[in-house]
């Protein structure tokens, strides 16, 4: 809790199979499955289109304009992790570039989610290392002040505990608490189970009004049609 200058080495990660299975469902379905919570603010955007990943969160708390702790967090990465970086105050500096990405990737990281800026967008795209960020900026950072690694952080308006599952794609970034990852996967799969059937019906011209039986509640709510 607001501990500065500490690195937690042992965190309990969400189950690997569960974590990995969540990627395919996508951030929107997972967010719905959790009861429409867990989504980071929509200013978090991918640096290139099409990436869709899930992974276990290792967290890092940074200070404005200081990326020292990104080197510290690199050592704590295990294969299948996604690094989640929060900053103690709003900042758009470019904390992360292709050298750090090379290191993160070598450690097995799948992505970076950072509530600040990133740079080297072109090489990062070429090496296919996805980043969700608040900004893109060449602005470099210093290495002067300690933050922390693997403490609970708030990133883009969402609380992240180390070991939670991160699901990120073109629609945004969702945080699934470790304790409800299995339940969420189940709910997300159930949600998706009959989507194919629904899609076929809608494609054939059947209206959602009929498929979801909305006409009666709409009428009860007072909807009037005027010719």
Binders of a copy of itself: how many residues, by CB under 8 A?
101
Token pair in block for residue 227: 């010719």
The residue among 17 and 221 lying less far from a copy of itself, judged by its C-beta, is: 221
Contact with a copy of itself (CB under 8 A): which of 7, 21, 78, 189? 7
Q: Scan residues 146-205 and list those touching a copy of itself (CB under 8 A).
A: 146, 152, 154, 157-159, 169-172, 174, 177, 179-180, 195, 198-199, 202-205
Contact with a copy of itself (CB under 8 A): which of 24, 122, 183, 190? 122
CB 149 within 8 A of CB 76: yes
Shortest Å distance, C-beta 105 to a copy of itself: 8
The gap between the terminal CA atoms of the chain, to the nearest Å, is 61
d(CA 169, CA 49): 8
Rg of the chain, C-alpha, whole Å: 20
Q: Scan residues 36-55 and list those touching a copy of itself (CB under 8 A).
A: 36-39, 41-42, 45, 49-50, 52
Residues 6+ apart with CB under 8 A from 12: 163, 178
Here's the x/- map for a copy of itself, 89-118, by CB under 8 A: it reads as xxxxxx--xxxx-xx-xxx---------x-
d(CA 1, CA 75): 22
The neighbouring-strand residues paired with 173 are 168
Q: Scan residues 62-91 and list those touching a copy of itself (CB under 8 A).
A: 63-66, 68, 71-72, 74-75, 88-91
The residue among 193 and 203 lying less far from a copy of itself, judged by its C-beta, is: 203
21 binds a copy of itself (CB under 8 A): no
The vertex-50 CA angle with 47 and 54, nearest 5°, equals 90
């Amino acid at each position: 809790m607001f501990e500065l200058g500490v690195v937690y080495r042992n965190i309990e990660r969400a189950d690997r199979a569960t974590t990995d299975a969540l990627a395919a469902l996508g951030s929107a379905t997972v967010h719905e499955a959790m009861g429409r919570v867990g989504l980071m603010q929509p200013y978090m955007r991918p640096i290139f289109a099409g990436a869709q990943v899930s992974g276990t969160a290792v967290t890092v708390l940074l200070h404005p304009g200081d990326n020292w702790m990104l080197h510290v967090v690199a050592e704590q990465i295990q294969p299948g992790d996604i690094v989640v970086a929060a900053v103690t105050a709003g900042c758009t500096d470019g904390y992360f570039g292709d050298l750090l990405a090379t290191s993160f990737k070598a450690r097995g990281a799948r992505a970076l989610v950072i509530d600040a800026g990133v740079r080297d967008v072109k090489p990062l795209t070429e090496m296919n290392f996805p980043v969700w960020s608040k900004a893109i900026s060449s602005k470099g950072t210093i290495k002067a002040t300690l933050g922390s690694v693997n403490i609970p952080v708030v990133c883009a308006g969402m609380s992240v505990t180390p070991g939670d599952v991160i699901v990120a794609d073109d629609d945004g970034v969702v945080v699934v608490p470790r304790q409800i990852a299995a339940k969420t996967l189940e709910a997300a799969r159930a949600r998706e189970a009959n989507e194919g059937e629904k899609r076929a019906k809608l494609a054939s011209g059947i209206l959602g009004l009929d498929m979801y039986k909305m006409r009666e509640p709409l009428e009860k709510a007072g909807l009037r049609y005027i010719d």
